[in-house]
Amino acid sequence: MNKKLVLAYSGGLDTSFCIPFLKQQGYDIDAVTIDTGGFLGEEKEEIKDRALSLGASNYECIDISKQYYEKCLKYLLYGNVLRNNTYPLSVSSERAFQAMAILNYCESVGAKYVAHGSTGAGNDQIRFDLIFKSLAPNIEIVTPIRDNSLSRQEEVDFLSKHGVDWSEEKKNYSINVGIWGTSVGGKETLTSHQSLPESAYPSQVTKDGSEEITVSFQKGEVSKLNGKSFDHPIALIKELESIASAYGIGRDTHVGDTIIGIKGRVGFEAAASMILIKAHHLLEKHVLSKWQNHWKQQLADWYGMMLHEGQFLDPVLRNMEKFIEDTQVNVTGDVFITLKPYRFLLNGIESPHDLMRSEFGQYGEMNKGWTADEAKGFIKILSNQYKIYHGVNKSKISL
């Protein structure tokens, strides 16, 4: 019987537990890490050594960061997507792409089983399983933590019995590193009133004072940092993250509705993505029309919600992507930013498409495109609908 199993392996507690546990069940395990841009070289080696020492027959790390950017991240940036106006889909947006890459690997080795370390109480189980069931319905999904309702402490105890000492720090916090940000879960995020301690964040504050930077966009895509071009936007994002994370920028706690209907709370740090989203949004406010801004925001909110909830395969997302991308034709220019400890300031923009450069006038100061009588006539016509409504209904507005 072929019991070749491919485990989506992150190197954390849940997936590390899965290796010796599933090996006991008779599976021949390939541990596969799908790198969407969040891992450093030395981290990959540590993850590989851990997987093999735990009993995996083989380990692979597959880099799909450029594909992830092209098919997802650039649309999150185009749409200024923030879940509940807070969370930049730092890790949740990766799951569909990791799942698809895992299936490609399963096919290459002829595996009939695929596993992940999700519990039964979170979003990732749905994100992974939707992809697996939609694209490979004949592959059996194995989820030992979900199926056995295991707690983190039970996983730690199991590993300890098998000679693996999971440190106290790792026990307290679940950290998922991604190119678009890092999520941090721990005992504080299980409450509604506690904040994560400084020590819980992977990046520590090492800079004080302030620093000026310039981010450049070309048709909506980030193109330069401080005038420097990069081989790929992924490299620019990493460079910006290294600069801004040293100020502790991009930290927050997200509270939202999970796919399964319960409230969830998670901390995150996302210096690069928060700066880029806010800088891009400011540039758009200068160069897009009123109704472009309005409708793009509505559509981008839906896009972010569906992606967050694992609906990446729905073809309506491809329709949304075409509309959102079409709005970016004039989103070109520089955004000037000041970095400070725990915050950043958007100082302004320069763009050849800046609609504030119009010759018609300056807001609140002067106009050159209409006379005083024309302004009063416009106001009179605009007020007709309200005058008719309140006159017919004899409504009174009291203060």
> Under DSSP, is residue 192 helix (H, G, I), strand (E, B) or coil?
coil
Which helix (H) or strand (E) covers residue 9, if one does?
none
Best CA proximity match to 93, nearest among 306, 244, 360: 306
State how far the alpha carbon of 150 is from the alpha carbons of 21, 24, 158, 187, 384, in Å: 12, 16, 10, 16, 66
Rounded CA-CA distance 15/29 in Å is 12
User: Which residues, including other chains, have CB under 8 Å from residue 353's CB and lie 6 or more apart?
Assistant: 286, 287, 330, 331, 332, 333
Q: List per-residue pLDDT tens for the chain, 399 residues long.
A: 569 999 999 998 899 999 999 999 999 999 999 999 988 778 899 999 999 999 999 999 999 999 999 999 999 999 999 999 999 998 889 999 999 999 999 999 999 999 999 988 889 999 999 999 999 999 999 999 999 999 888 999 999 988 888 865 555 788 888 999 999 988 899 999 999 999 999 899 999 999 999 999 999 999 999 999 999 999 999 999 999 999 999 999 999 888 989 998 999 999 999 999 999 999 999 999 999 999 999 999 999 999 999 999 999 999 999 999 999 999 999 999 999 999 999 999 999 999 987 666 666 666 777 888 999 999 999 999 999 999 999 888 877
Rounded CA-CA distance 348/350 in Å is 7
Point out which residues pair with 185 in neighbouring strands: 174
**pLDDT recorded at residue 1:** 53
What is the DSSP code (8-state) at residue 70? Answer: I
Provide the CA 8 distance to its chain's centre, in angstroms. Answer: 19
What is the DSSP code (8-state) at residue 241? Answer: H
Enter the tokens of residue 353. 């498409």
Rounded CA-CA distance 277/297 in Å is 13
Predicted TM-score of the model (pTM):
0.92
**pLDDT recorded at residue 153:** 86
State how far the alpha carbon of 127 is from the alpha carbons of 156, 216, 249, 367, in Å: 25, 33, 28, 53
Residue 40, judged by CB atoms within 10 A of its CB (0-12, 13-18, 19+), counts as exposed
What is the DSSP code (8-state) at residue 232? Answer: S
**pLDDT recorded at residue 152:** 83
